[in-house]
Amino acid sequence: MSEVELSAIPGAVVRSWDELVAEGRRAIDGFQWKLGDLAGEVETSYGEASLAAYAAEINVNYTTLSEYRRIANLYEIPRRLGISWGAAQALAAQPDRLELIASRKWTVAQARELAASRRAPSPLPSGGQPSLSPPLPLPLPTAPEPDESGESLGWPEPSSGGSADSRGAPLLPPLRDELPPAQPHVGHNSGDNEWYTPADYIKAAKAVMGDIDLDPASSDVANSVVGAYKFYTEADNGLSKRWSGRVWMNPPYAQPLIAQFAERLAESFAAGDVTEACVLVNNATETAWCSALITPASAICFPRGRIKFWHPRKESAPLQGQLIIYLGPRPADFRAEFRQFGPVKGEF
């Protein structure tokens, strides 16, 4: 029994608190409809104030459980047959949602696409036309600075294969017979995976999603900042677990793990198990795993400079820039929170 003193509402037909808790714990692995119905039953039987105690008893984030209850209350059980919870959530804001789900079979992707198509477009600047800045002129070559003696060092003689202007200044580099040796790209990183996200980015993600239900690639140290309600460590093998709710993910950057985590998140989002996600990854748009995340994204932030990850025992030296990818129904909120870090593009 919860430490909070609970009593049934007079006149209500109720099941015992312990029975409801036991059923909620059995449904913990992602049965959103069932948890939503149980949350509604708890509120009806024991009052609205009881839901927080119930969430704590069954080890589910209170905000997440409230969302399950909200969606479940929007759809009568007969109408709910044949529609996934993720599709129902995507259509929840539509005034004609009951007619929509009665008219056809909806996948999560189709429901999200319809909801996105009905969002009001962002207002244009005055005059009704988008504002486009003219391209900046290319800089002209300038003469070299004089040396310490005051003598000009002069323009270098053009090399074979290069081109020069009327002063003999090379405008194009000469052709080279050999290219420099290729450097390993961090899209195929095989190095250290233990780098943690700075707190400012976590704060912004929580402002967008309300909270973080799951971090599938974390550690005790990392979660001291992330504060996810549930997190999986390397020992837990998060790829073997069920993913659901609102996800923050800063995956291991080594191959093949980064591809496996990216593909798993995309699949969980498409299935409706993951309802929202913020993902921090390297800017490796040429890779298949990055494409798997970008394709369902509704917004992407391009941070200025390189993010300085942290670790209690070592210094961060990032090899390239990063992306923060948002999957979910609130791209405008994502833009409002993340544009402090860099430009944001998406469906607004």
Number of separate helices (H) and strands (E) present in the chain: 13, 9
pLDDT tens-digit readout, 28-50: 544 788 888 899 999 888 888 88
pLDDT tens-digit readout, 237-264: 999 998 999 999 999 888 889 999 999 9
pLDDT tens-digit readout, 112-151: 888 888 876 655 444 444 444 444 443 434 444 444 444 4
- What residues contact residue 254 under an 8 Å CB cut-off, 6+ apart? 189, 190, 191, 193
**What DSSP state is assigned to residue 167?**
T
Average pLDDT estimate for 285-304:
91
The two three-digit tokens of residue 160, written as one number: 């074979």
Check residue 208 and give its pLDDT: 94
3-state helix, strand, coil in the chain (%, to 5): 35, 10, 50
Class of domain 188-346: alpha beta
- What residues contact residue 347 under an 8 Å CB cut-off, 6+ apart? 116, 119, 298, 299, 331
Whole-prediction pTM: 0.57
Domains of the chain, by residue range, sit at 17-117, 188-346
Check residue 318 and give its pLDDT: 59
Pick the CATH number of 17-117 from 1.10.10, 3.30.43, 3.20.20, 3.90.580: 1.10.10
* pLDDT at residue 179 tops 50: no
Q: What is the CA radius of gyration of the chain?
A: 27
CA-CA distance, 253 to 184, in Å (whole number)?
A: 14
Average pLDDT estimate for 191-212:
82
Q: Is 42 helix (H, G, I), strand (E, B) or coil?
A: helix
* pLDDT at residue 306 tops 80: no
E-assigned strands of the chain? 163-164, 170-172, 214-215, 230-231, 245-249, 274-282, 299-301, 322-327, 344-346
Looking at per-residue pLDDT, the higher value among 193 and 83 belongs to 83
Check residue 216 and give its pLDDT: 94
